[in-house]
Amino acid sequence: MILFVIKSLAVAGGAERVLATVAGGLVERGHEVAVMSFDAPGVAPAYPLHPGVEHIRHPIGAATHRSGLVGTLRRMVRLRREASCRRPRLCIAFMHSAYVPAVIALAGTGVPVVASEHTIPDYFAHRRVEFALVRLVAGLASGMTTVSEHARSRFPAALRNVMTVVPNPALDARGRQADVLGSQEGGGTILSVGRLVEGKGLEILVEAFALIAGERPGWTLRLVGDGPLREALRTLASRLRVADRIAFVGFVSAVDDEYLRAQLFCAPSLVESQGLAAAEALSFGLPVVAFADCEALAEIVHDGFNGRLARANEGAAGLAPLLAELTADAEQRALLARGATASRPSGKLDEVLAAWESLVAAHAREATAQPHRHTNQTSIDR
């Protein structure tokens, strides 16, 4: 058995979506897979798990909030008991909130642990103790993954040397193309997809849209995703008098429909490890506007070929002219759409699953007789 561990599956974030996709994909390839999370009973995963994936829940503490010491220790005890009972060949723990306690909890059990990191060191700028723990357990883990060469390059040498790059799987467009031309009346939708959190630059996007809204009356801004900045962004939109032109969609499971209906995509992130949403937008033939200073996005968005790049130090004043230009020029959007379709961002599911299988083969211990497996998909430890 391969045991994935994550603090919560209830959060509609990128790492949670990747875990659900990879776990299901490995089941399809013949692996026995279980996912352990600490969500409360009745809380459904944001991204449904494959029916063949066993979901093991241990509802300890508020899984969607920052953990305290007592809650973390209790989770470590439960994880060690679960691993001792099930004897997985490999434990893959997603994000430092799971892999730091997992590496420590499973020490001495014989169960190898792969730590899967989905951010870059900038995330830990004001979390020095957490980053110190990351560096500590990196030397104790069987292996460590990161999502891109760009992300790997940002870590200290001691971490880079133990990291394997395994890209996140991007949504497959399957030949479908966004309607970049839009209506004949000159209106359209600017789309942005991602969690509403610090570092994503969404306040800059709202300000930039407000700067062009008056001259582009037929255009709307559509923000797909949820997060703690939702109300602050709503307040900002109201203050800038564009609240009626911005749709706060929240989490949607069929995000491919959002890509297909949009005419332009904006990824205003200042920090990204891979830029998964932008890569997906490109695969659907959507031109992408981003900041050149965000290295992960600048690796896949090429100015004048499949999108446009602004300078982050210019903020909304730098982003707005590019949005104004592309919302006014359907012919340029069509030209950039051809470049977007020709782009080849990494993240094809088959390639990603093959990379995870190689990682499993490299780090998993030899299969042993497994104890009785639960027949239900979800086991609740009360």
For residue 132, with 0-12 CB atoms within 10 Å meaning exposed, 13-18 middle and 19 or more buried, which class applies?
Answer: exposed
**What single-letter amino acid sits at 194?**
G
Boundaries of domain holding 226? 188-342
Q: How many domains does the chain have?
A: 2
Is 120 found in the same domain as 35?
yes
User: Tell me, what's the pLDDT at 170?
Assistant: 83
Taking alpha carbons only, the member of 247, 209, 242 closest to residue 326 is 209
Q: CA separation (Å) from 16 to 22, 47, 74, 257?
A: 10, 7, 22, 20
CA distance 237 to 357: 46
User: Tell me, what's the pLDDT at 333?
Assistant: 96
pLDDT digits (tens, 9 = 90+) for 129-166: 999 999 999 999 999 999 988 899 999 999 999 999 99
In total, the chain counts a number of residues equal to 382
Is 134 found in the same domain as 23?
yes
Is 294 found in the same domain as 258?
yes
Number of other CB atoms surrounding residue 365 within 10 Å: 13
**What single-letter amino acid sits at 234?**
R
User: Tell me, what's the pLDDT at 346?
Assistant: 65
For residue 173 the two structure tokens come to: 């467009």
Residues 291-326: b if buried by 16+ CB within 10 A, e if exposed: bebbbbbbbbbbeeebbbbbebeebbebbbebbbeb
Is 142 found in the same domain as 35?
yes
pLDDT digits (tens, 9 = 90+) for 182-234: 876 778 999 999 989 888 999 999 999 999 999 999 999 999 999 899 999 99
CA distance 264 to 42: 38
User: Tell me, what's the pLDDT at 64?
Assistant: 61
Flag whether 218 is in a domain.
Answer: yes
Looking at the DSSP bridge assignments, the partners of residue 4 are 35, 92
Q: What CATH code is carried by the domain that includes residue 244?
A: 3.40.50.2000
Looking at the DSSP bridge assignments, the partners of residue 247 are 222
pLDDT at 372 over 50: no
User: Tell me, what's the pLDDT at 367?
Assistant: 59
Is 206 found in the same domain as 143?
no
Flag whether 44 is in a domain.
Answer: yes
Is 207 found in the same domain as 67?
no
Is 217 found in the same domain as 97?
no
For residue 17 the two structure tokens come to: 């979506």
Q: Rounded to two decimals, what is the model's pTM? A: 0.84
pLDDT at 175 over 60: yes
For residue 344 the two structure tokens come to: 């080849």
User: Tell me, what's the pLDDT at 381?
Assistant: 40
The answer for residues whose C-beta is within 8 angstroms of residue 318's C-beta and 6 or more apart is: 310, 311, 312
User: Tell me, what's the pLDDT at 35?
Assistant: 98
Is 17 found in the same domain as 159?
yes
CA distance 213 to 246: 10
pLDDT at 67 over 80: no
Looking at the DSSP bridge assignments, the partners of residue 31 are none
Taking alpha carbons only, the member of 120, 26, 113, 99 closest to residue 365 is 113
CA distance 322 to 333: 11
Flag whether 294 is in a domain.
Answer: yes
CA distance 200 to 229: 10
Residue range 309-334: average pLDDT?
A: 95
Flag whether 321 is in a domain.
Answer: yes
Contact 130, 159 (CB under 8 A): no
pLDDT at 114 over 80: yes
